[in-house]
A and B are shown apart, each in its own frame.
Chain A
């Protein structure tokens, strides 16, 4: 009894976590129109998903947005982290603290303040406003990831490179960036996933000209659950699994 009880408990916990996902995946291949009865195996919802032009467009929009937001925030974030690591200046602590404020403050606050800012400055709600907003909330995560890597960085490495004849720029290119590359990639992936599934901030700062996937799904679900959503969910699941494996692979490789 004492031997199988923990096992049953473990199985229950995992069932709890994975049955809903399993149901979603299974029903994405369901031929029946209803979400509750099994009508045989079929790929029709995948087909109708890809024939839904608005949906496909939202998917591309989302991917493009996530890609650009992750890239921009990685570049700015890496430079910020390097500056915070390398130089001693008076506003350093304030700057550091402000990053945490952005990270910790409720998303809704960030969303409202960004919307107010965009209206004030006169930025049209669309791709640009979404990009700026996504870069804003991704930035602290990138900075913290890169800073963590830099804190374990051997300060004599840049000196060794200079000593061997590298200019500051060459040293950065051949030593500094390769050594912090795992952190840059991890930060980029983090930004990418954060941007891809953001709803709250995006709801406020998106406009009719640029619809993105999470908002599209949200509005679809509101008018009733269509089996198409199951297919989309399965695709997203596969996609995030690939991303997860990719990030783990980078992490393991960097430790070697």
Chain B
């Protein structure tokens, strides 16, 4: 059984009368890599700052391993932060930056030197001890910030979009390194990002946030394959939404009318009744593009094709004007596989690969939230 390390209960926070967090509950397990994912303004950074102690909640409690931390100032919390723009002390050398936390603990000089060397070796910066932060590249500064935070051996490491200032390639390298560090140190990582790809590839669990409320909490696979609502479905990855209507209900399956096709699909967890409108969600890689002569499938034509190296991504316009994204792997037998623009095709999917969601009352609001991100 997983042990809860940090427990947030009923946390609320307002800024200038605006709710940023609204009675939020979250349990973080000991040793896990958990990611707070959401568009800007969703409250993820505020949540992190509450954990670190830079902000105080209007209501609710923060408990770390059974100890109430709610009123504890940041310097007395056994957790450390990696800041978005690193926040390295510009007047101190790399060594002094990393040693700062240990000096605050009044550790003996010998121990400080050993532990700083060890931390710098961990991030492969042992040769940069004497440099000042401005003499380092962005990636190196990032490593110093990480070493400075982990040298105190915190129970929990908070990371506030630490990779957002790095270029794509360096970001991928650092993602791998962070995962490795987390495994080696066994420290619980709370990682904040607005990058869903980063969240999926790094985390044990993902918390999808919107307007200060948890939309979904689950493993990356759950969040991607079984989104809890339309917001999560739209925010995490690309999704096609097909309008469906329940025709008939069986024991473990339902028949749904999608663009006039009768498909027998797995019965969802939420209650359904005949005639109910549904969203049929399909990821681009679940779409099958068929020959126009094929009996099943929805007719449309190719309006865009993008060669992506390992996949061919296409946009298909259906007869009702809606667009479908398809992502297909290249077939070894047919390396010349391609489409021409305007080519008529049919679109289908394998039954059971879809995910069903009920219609939501305020669907237009989700669209707005997404354009902000």
Q: Mark A150-170, 1 if CB is under 8 A from B, else 0.
A: 000010110111111111001
Bound CA–CA A164/B54 (angstroms):
12
Residue contact B152 to A164, C-beta cutoff 8 Å = yes
B105 partner, pick from A157, A159, A165, beta carbons under 8 A: A165
**Contact of B101 with A by CB under 8 A:** yes
**For residue B88, which residues in chain A have a CB less than 8 angstroms away from its CB?**
160
Residue contact B85 to A154, C-beta cutoff 8 Å = yes
**Contact of B90 with A by CB under 8 A:** yes
**Contact of A179 with B by CB under 8 A:** yes
**Contact of A175 with B by CB under 8 A:** yes
Residue contact A164 to B100, C-beta cutoff 8 Å = yes
Residue contact B89 to A157, C-beta cutoff 8 Å = yes
Residue contact A156 to B87, C-beta cutoff 8 Å = yes
A170: nearest residue on chain B (CB-CB)?
B104
Q: Mark A64-107, 1 if CB is under 8 A from B, else 0.
A: 00000000000000000000000000000000000000000000
**For residue A22, which residues in chain B have a CB less than 8 angstroms away from its CB?**
none
Tell me how far the C-beta of B285 lies from the nearest C-beta in chain A, rounded to whole angstroms.
Answer: 40
Bound CA–CA A177/B341 (angstroms):
64
**For residue B134, which residues in chain A have a CB less than 8 angstroms away from its CB?**
256
A165 partner, pick from B75, B83, B90, B132, beta carbons under 8 A: B75
A: number of interface residues (CB 8 Å): 19
Bound CA–CA A121/B75 (angstroms):
47
Residue contact A163 to B75, C-beta cutoff 8 Å = yes
**Contact of B52 with A by CB under 8 A:** yes
Residue contact A165 to B89, C-beta cutoff 8 Å = no
**Contact of B41 with A by CB under 8 A:** no
Bound CA–CA A156/B82 (angstroms):
10
Most buried by B among A156, A166, A181, A256: A156
Number of A-B residue pairs having CB atoms within 8 Å of each other in the complex:
64
**For residue A39, which residues in chain B have a CB less than 8 angstroms away from its CB?**
none
Tell me how far the C-beta of A29 lies from the nearest C-beta in chain B, rounded to whole angstroms.
Answer: 45
Residue contact B104 to A160, C-beta cutoff 8 Å = no
**For residue A159, which residues in chain B have a CB less than 8 angstroms away from its CB?**
52, 54, 74, 81, 83, 87
Residue contact A165 to B101, C-beta cutoff 8 Å = yes
Bound CA–CA A174/B148 (angstroms):
16
Beyond A159-B74, A162-B75, whether A154 also contacts B87 by CB under 8 A is yes
**For residue B148, which residues in chain A have a CB less than 8 angstroms away from its CB?**
160, 164
Beyond A162-B74, A163-B75, whether A179 also contacts B83 by CB under 8 A is no
**Contact of B73 with A by CB under 8 A:** yes
Residue contact B80 to A164, C-beta cutoff 8 Å = yes
Bound CA–CA A166/B104 (angstroms):
6
A175: nearest residue on chain B (CB-CB)?
B89
**For residue A174, which residues in chain B have a CB less than 8 angstroms away from its CB?**
100
**For residue A170, which residues in chain B have a CB less than 8 angstroms away from its CB?**
104
B: number of interface residues (CB 8 Å): 26
Q: Mark B133-161, 1 if CB is under 8 A from A, else 0.
A: 01000000000000011001000000000
Residue contact A179 to B90, C-beta cutoff 8 Å = yes
**Contact of B91 with A by CB under 8 A:** yes
Bound CA–CA A164/B100 (angstroms):
7
**For residue A178, which residues in chain B have a CB less than 8 angstroms away from its CB?**
89, 91
**For residue A175, which residues in chain B have a CB less than 8 angstroms away from its CB?**
89
For residues 93 through 121 of chain B, which have their beta carbon under 8 Å from a beta carbon of chain A?
Answer: 100-101, 104-105
Residue contact A179 to B91, C-beta cutoff 8 Å = yes
Bound CA–CA A199/B353 (angstroms):
88
Tell me how far the C-beta of B81 lies from the nearest C-beta in chain A, rounded to whole angstroms.
Answer: 5
Bound CA–CA A167/B73 (angstroms):
9
Most buried by A among B91, B148, B149: B91
Tell me how far the C-beta of B19 lies from the nearest C-beta in chain A, rounded to whole angstroms.
Answer: 21
Beyond A165-B152, A170-B104, whether A160 also contacts B87 by CB under 8 A is yes
Residue contact B81 to A160, C-beta cutoff 8 Å = yes
**For residue B132, which residues in chain A have a CB less than 8 angstroms away from its CB?**
256
A254: nearest residue on chain B (CB-CB)?
B91
Residue contact B52 to A163, C-beta cutoff 8 Å = yes
A164: nearest residue on chain B (CB-CB)?
B101
Q: Mark A174-186, 1 if CB is under 8 A from B, else 0.
A: 1100110100000
**For residue A163, which residues in chain B have a CB less than 8 angstroms away from its CB?**
52-54, 74-75, 80-81, 149
Bound CA–CA A173/B152 (angstroms):
21
Most buried by A among B84, B101, B132: B101
Most buried by A among B76, B80, B85, B87: B87
**For residue A162, which residues in chain B have a CB less than 8 angstroms away from its CB?**
53-54, 73-75
Tell me how far the C-beta of A169 lies from the nearest C-beta in chain B, rounded to whole angstroms.
Answer: 11
Bound CA–CA A256/B91 (angstroms):
9
Residue contact A164 to B104, C-beta cutoff 8 Å = yes
A178: nearest residue on chain B (CB-CB)?
B91
Bound CA–CA A256/B134 (angstroms):
8
Bound CA–CA A140/B101 (angstroms):
37
Tell me how far the C-beta of A163 lies from the nearest C-beta in chain B, rounded to whole angstroms.
Answer: 5
A156 partner, pick from B85, B91, B152, beta carbons under 8 A: B85
- 17 CB < 8 A contacts A-B: A156-B84, A156-B87, A159-B52, A159-B81, A159-B83, A160-B83, A160-B148, A162-B53, A162-B73, A163-B53, A164-B104, A164-B148, A165-B76, A166-B104, A167-B75, A178-B89, A256-B132
Residues of B within 8 A of A (CB): 52-54, 73-76, 80-81, 83-85, 87-91, 100-101, 104-105, 132, 134, 148-149, 152
Closest 10 CB pairs of A and B: A165-B104, A164-B101, A156-B87, A160-B87, A162-B74, A178-B91, A156-B83, A163-B81, A165-B75, A162-B75
Given contacts A162-B75, A165-B76, A166-B75, 14 further A-B contacts (CB under 8 A): A156-B85, A159-B54, A159-B81, A163-B75, A163-B81, A163-B149, A164-B101, A164-B148, A164-B152, A165-B75, A166-B104, A170-B104, A174-B100, A178-B91
